[in-house]
Chains A and B, each alone.
Chain A
Amino acid sequence: EAGVAQSPRYKIIEKRQSVAFWCNPISGHATLYWYQQILGQGPKLLIQFQNNGVVDDSQLPKDRFSAERLKGVDSTLKIQPAKLEDSAVYLCASSFGRIGELFFGEGSRLTVL
């Protein structure tokens, strides 16, 4: 069974530039999550989708971060403009439903210079 796919694995940009990350969840998983993991810390939820609707985006810095899940399958997370403190690993996860085990991708590592 294919896992959660993310791209790119690594991205280096300068501050004030924009970046986008893509996630393709496990087939049939209705719930999709984006987490931010800063070095030395545990992952922190940014946004949770149920199909193509947002369940929780309370921790998403909406002035610079946006995410969408058109058609309820794959998702894109965008940062514009990026700040130095956005340097982190961005993890995508999916689950079959609102209850159940989360499956994580390998993450996209962002470095903002």
Chain B
Amino acid sequence: DAKTTQPPSMDCAEGRAANLPCNHSTISGNEYVYWYRQIHSQGPQYIIHGLKNNETNEMASLIITEDRKSSTLILPHATLRDTAVYYCIVRPYQTGANNLFFGTGTRLTVIP
């Protein structure tokens, strides 16, 4: 079962930062926070993951609160191609447990 709570939908103006929140209040010490996105008619695509420190890559930044009970995915300059469903997933980092439990995610619409 998904252990995360996300808003069902959000809008963002093109060129602005998109901030997608995720609540994971029951996260365990060995669980990472992963973000995937799914563009229409495509399979999910990995974005970023983190344990407790903030992370940044070429796609996005991940901000995790100090108590690790929530996080925010930041797309710094949203484009129309960022319109997708974004999934926040908590996942233990151990062998044999590489499954991903997807919830219903947040549908982000980037508006011109």
Tell whether B54 is near chain A: CB-to-CB under 8 Å.
no
Most chain-B Cβ atoms within 10 A of its Cβ — which of A33, A40, A97, A101? A101
| Shortest CB distance A57–B (Å) | 11
| Shortest CB distance B5–A (Å) | 13
Interface residues of A in 91-113 (CB under 8 A from B): 91, 93, 95, 97-107
Question: Given contacts A42-B2, A42-B87, are A102 and B42 in contact (CB under 8 A)?
Answer: no
Residues of B within 8 A of A (CB): 2, 41-46, 87, 93-105
Residues of A within 8 A of B (CB): 4, 31, 33, 40-45, 48, 55-56, 91, 93, 95, 97-107
Check B46–A101 contact: CB distance below 8 A.
yes
In the bound complex, CA of A45 to CA of B44 (Å): 13
In the bound complex, CA of A43 to CA of B99 (Å): 11
B41: nearest chain-A partner, CB-CB: A106
In the complex, chain A residues whose CB is within 8 Å of the CB of B102: 42-44
Check A55–B2 contact: CB distance below 8 A.
no
A33: nearest chain-B partner, CB-CB: B99
